Amino acid sequence: MKYFKLGYGIVCALLITTTNVWAAEGARQDNSGIFVWMFLGVCALIVAAQLVPALFILVNAIKGIAEAVKERHLVAAEGKGR
């Protein structure tokens, strides 16, 4: 109980000193309406829609390169065995 009171007192003391920070005015004031946020949402959807096919192409390209390297190693290994 003693440590609880001590911890509670420390937390209260820290919170009392930060009230000015929470009450600070003039933080960020943007006058963005709903249409601005809708526009930004549509832009984000466009970017996300372009990322999905790009990732598929990237994965397929990596698979193709890995298969080509594997074939090259197999052909080289067969040539050394003769």
The helix/strand/coil state of 10 is helix
Domain spans in the chain, listed from the N-terminal domain onward: 34-82
The per-residue pLDDT of the chain, averaged, comes to: 81
pLDDT, mean of residues 23-40: 75
Quick one: pLDDT at residue 81? 56
Rounded CA gap, 63 and 69, in Å? 10
Considering the entire predicted model, what is its pTM? 0.45
